[in-house]
């Protein structure tokens, strides 16, 4: 057993597998903020459909498309947060769901909703690019 600082590798791995209340609260707070943002965007889109200005139809369509793209992006983020919360309760927080290795703490700090380590995420992105070229 190797000692890192004051923590052994065994206890470090155990800590990364169990989601702390602080981490769970952070994910729930992020989920709440994301849900509010999504609701706000949906209201904006609804308001855009209600105003029907024929003179600005082209710019209105562009704004609607932008809002719809934002809604899609925020909805994906919300889905990712929900998935991360469920995943943390099943396999542990900070554990890659694909390879089972720990996710770097720096990555979790930037993307707390992530469930893939950087290597698996890169591989997923590479496969996505290959599919889009097919």
Per-range mean pLDDT, top range of 14-28, 57-71, 117-131: 117-131
Cα 126 to Cα 96, 116, 130, 131, distances in angstroms: 17, 14, 6, 9
pLDDT recorded at residue 95? 92
- pTM recorded for the entire structure: 0.69
In 3-state terms, what secondary structure has residue 125? helix
- Checking if the pLDDT of 15 tops 50, the result is no
* Domain ranges (residues) in the chain: 20-93, 95-134
Q: Give the whole-angstrom CA distance, residue 126 versus residue 57.
A: 38
Per-range mean pLDDT, top range of 17-21, 57-61, 66-70, 84-88: 66-70
Q: What is the mean pLDDT of residues 44-61?
A: 73
């Amino acid at each position: 057993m190797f000692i890192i600082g004051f923590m052994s590798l065994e206890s470090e791995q155990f800590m990364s597998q169990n989601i702390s209340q602080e981490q769970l609260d952070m994910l729930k707070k992020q989920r709440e903020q994301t849900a509010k943002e999504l609701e706000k965007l949906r209201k904006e889109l609804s308001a855009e459909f209600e105003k029907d200005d024929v003179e600005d139809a082209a710019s209105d369509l562009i704004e609607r498309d932008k809002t719809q793209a934002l809604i899609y992006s925020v909805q994906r983020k919300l889905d990712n947060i929900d998935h991360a919360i469920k995943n943390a309760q099943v396999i542990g927080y900070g554990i890659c769901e694909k390879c089972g290795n720990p996710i770097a703490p720096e990555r979790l700090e930037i993307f707390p909703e992530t469930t893939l380590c950087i290597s698996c995420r890169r591989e997923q992105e590479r496969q996505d690019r290959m599919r889009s070229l097919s």
